[in-house]
Amino acid sequence: MYTRILVPIDGSEHAKQALSVACKLLDENATLYLLHVPEALSYTTTLVWGIGAVNAEATLAEREKAGEQLLQQAAKSAREQGAKQIEELLTQGDPVRVILDSANAFDIDTIVLGSRGLSNLGSVVIGSVSHKVSHSAKCGVITVRQ
């Protein structure tokens, strides 16, 4: 069991599965940190938890608003799965760097993230977020497949 778990939430089904796994790993008095990094996507995509579609041309403000809704819905889902203490984090920057910096800043025990997210095929060439995080994190990392 863990007392401080970080779950990056990008709106993908993989992130939703990662949240479910993280909720099962929480200790009774644990804190669950939900992190969203609004990214510009190269295509329109539909986010899970009923948030709807985010247009590829969405402004930063629109992506942040969708991110806030996503975090709220993820927190609601986590509470339904037994999480009691939840922190919602919305931060700009490179997702890998933000995840690693957040893990260090909040003294995270483990990061639970989906093996794939919403990023495009370019990530296959330059390396996925989950791959980079798992190789660079100072804490444990659990990668969840859908």
Contact 132, 103 (CB under 8 A): no
Residue with token string 């490179």: 94
What confidence score (pLDDT) does residue 46 get? 59
Residue 94 belongs to domain with CATH number: 3.40.50.620
Structure tokens given for 5: 């778990």
**Using one digit for the tens of pLDDT, what is the confidence trace for 9-42?**
988 888 999 999 999 999 989 999 999 998 766 6
The pLDDT of residue 61 is above 90: no
Provide the mean pLDDT of the chain: 86
Nearest to 63 by CA among 81, 84, 44: 44
Q: Is pLDDT larger for residue 61 or for residue 7?
A: 7
Query: For the whole model, what pTM was predicted?
Result: 0.87
Nearest to 9 by CA among 47, 40, 44: 47
Nearest to 4 by CA among 76, 103, 115: 103
* Residues in the chain, overall count: 146
Domains held by the chain: number: 1
**Using one digit for the tens of pLDDT, what is the confidence trace for 86-132?**
999 999 999 999 999 999 999 999 999 988 655 544 444 445 888 99
Structure tokens given for 125: 């060439």
Domain ranges, residue 35:
2-144
